[in-house]
Chain A
Amino acid sequence: MRVPLKGLTLSVAAALALIACGKQEPPKQAAAPAAPAPAAAPAPAAKPEITVKIGHSAPLTGPQGHLGKDNENGARLAIEEANAKGLEIGGSKVKFELLGEDDQADPKQGTLVAQKLVDAKVNGVIGHLNSGTTIPASKIYFDSGIPQVSPSATNPKYTLQGFKTAFRVMANDVQQGKVLGDYAVHKLNAKKIAIIDDRTAYGQGVADEVEKAVKASGGQVVTREFTNDKATDFNAILTKVKSKKPDLVFYGGMDAQAGPLAKQMKGLGVPAKLLMADGGCTTEFHKLAADAAEGNYCSLPGVPLDKMPGGTDFKNRYKAKFNADIQLYAPYVFDAVGVMIDAMKRADSVEPAKYLPELAKTDGYPGVTAKIQFDDKGDIKDGAITLYQAKAGKWDPLDTMGGTPVAAAAAEKK
């Protein structure tokens, strides 16, 4: 057989292109709109009913599909509960409708989805899940004047662009990184710290902040290693990490990598614990790391769900509705929807231009995760951060730092 060079070169080029831009999948059709909640009694009076479209975007396919679905479930629950209440805004009955989109955690797909939501004339957007998709999409929402509340994009850049439409209900990486770096050096007594990240806007962002905080606290960063958000083999970088004899390894990235990473650390005999930010703080981590999960640490903005006034109740409602456990961000998504609807109520309007100022003024909204108040950039004010340690297959809360108003609010309600 002659080796057809032309075809081969073409194939190599195709392969390189595929590697360069990640797996391209066809844009999936919008998920079916949420079934209208049956509990909303049909209004007998001839009151006009308006439909309010809430856009939602997260990766529903690909390596982070499990997290994205969890987010969408959080939004669905919030919207169905709001519909069940039968709200009236501006004199008409309001029915909320969820437009769920799949951005594949891909920045390019994120902007396409954003444009699609804008074209569908959504009244507000909840999302996206990843910082990498949220930041480029935020410009599109800003240009169209559509308020956006991200439940989980923690890269500081998101709210530093001067877009008055951009909000988030989770402490950003500067806040989280500071706490993590400080905690590692002072409480965990780690002097030599190795840092690994997945080179995404989120992973790199939080790792940079942790590095700064570690150095500021007098710790030493012995090595910085990198992987990507689709990797499964970390033996090479971990072997290098091991040779630097760190006291602690920080990983900036998501659970799908963090789990196998913890496992391979154990396999190679790296004598250090793993510290992660919110991306690794999932139930999935325990499954993936199995017996290597024990003793590792992670942080999550907010106070533990069980300690929040409505936390346990939320967990049960979620379980009853979807017959699944909460993965990670669902409570934050639930709050993001809640904050948006609350602003509509206060403004007595579902028009983006009218309720946006009220959204910015949100002060003390009693969410599931925290008492929510935005600062002038759209970041959550005084967000608490809780550190957890893996014990017997669960994340066990160790310490809650900062966020006095939040903790106080939680205490008040008890």
Chain B
Amino acid sequence: MSPGLRTPAPQLSGWGRLPVPGREIRSEDLAGVARSRPLTRGLGRSYGDASLPPAGALEVAGSALADRLLAFDPETGVLRAEAGLSLREILRLFLPRGFWPPASPGTAFVTLGGMVAADVHGKSHHRDGTFGRHVRSLRVLLADGRVVDCDRETHPGLFRATLGGMGLTGHILEVELTLQRVPSAWIVEERRRYDGLDALLAALRAAAADWPYTVAWIDTLSSGNALGRGILFAGRWAEAGEAPLFPPPPRRRRRFPVDLPEWCLSPFAVRTFNALLFGTAPARPQRRLLSPEQFFYPLDAIEDWNRMYGRRGFTQYQCVLPESERPGATRRLLELMIELGGASFLSVLKDMGAEGEGMLSFPRPGVTVAVDLPIRPGTAALVARLNRLVADEGGRIYLAKDALSTAADFARLEPRLPAFLAERARWDPHGRLGSAMSDRLFAPAARGSQIS
């Protein structure tokens, strides 16, 4: 560096690009770098501050270099690996051998440890549940330096608190999980558009019976009869006779080159984009053969796509609403979003199956909605309004996406929080572990639990 170019203070941010002072220290020896630090971070795909250091700390450990395969049994599909192994590597190494992870989020740029910490879900949630359901055991570095193995029999409390515990119970060092056997390396996709929310929700439910993978994109800008219009994507693995014998070629990744200027996110631009996308989707079911990458991770084709939301960054609001207990909850959420003018590009809608085992796992039966929100002056207030509605409907928010909720909101949204904090206090009584997220969401509640 030349004297004229001062080295800026190091900054760290989540996928939503809201930075805090901080630095990630990566090493092949994860236990070594994690021992003296309050948090371990994977590939930084959580949107908010889940992977950022708490107040008083500057550094978090990074797991991405601790990515060794420890064992794989081709008979049972059981894989054991270090926590930094990425989903992308798992797919690259094991899809050619006929195996696929039973639950996978919308990006492959996540680590095993990150998938456990957020107890991620995917397009197969209605059938296969969360990632945690397929985890057999975990090795965790505790706050006091001990390394323990936990599963459903040994330290079940630690196991259940660590699934979906956002890395706040200990540093996840190793993960053992069961991969699913698949008949080919290709996906048969069927998609069609639906003109309103009721039709789309009904179609999602109907598709769940026949298809292992389902998801819908909805246009959150249209109101009236077109409210919640969207495109349903359903998928399944191609059978051996339906697909080419060769695996799909690796996709070329393009980089999003610039931070988009603000006008690209104007209501007019977004409305046009959504209308184009909806208008070009087929009105009758249309089938095609896709690579798993195209079907599961469409946005992974564009590196740094988070720059689309410009320099001010963005967040994602994802909640789950108990639609069958409170019919119309999804409609009420969309109506509020339109009223407050918060909606942006294509949003995601999916029906969810069983609740996860983790003490703070996000999924529960109902409908989940995920909406990207560019950061603007009123975004925090918008999130607060949405949180109020979700709490009233008995729903939840997803911590892997959250950046702006307050501790008071979260306490209302999460009746399970005190139990989680009590379990966490058993394993970290001195509060050595933490993140910017736990500072933000747990602070008052945590003090309460220490008194009790």
A and B pair up: no
A residues at B contact (CB < 8 Å) = none
B residues at A contact (CB < 8 Å) = none
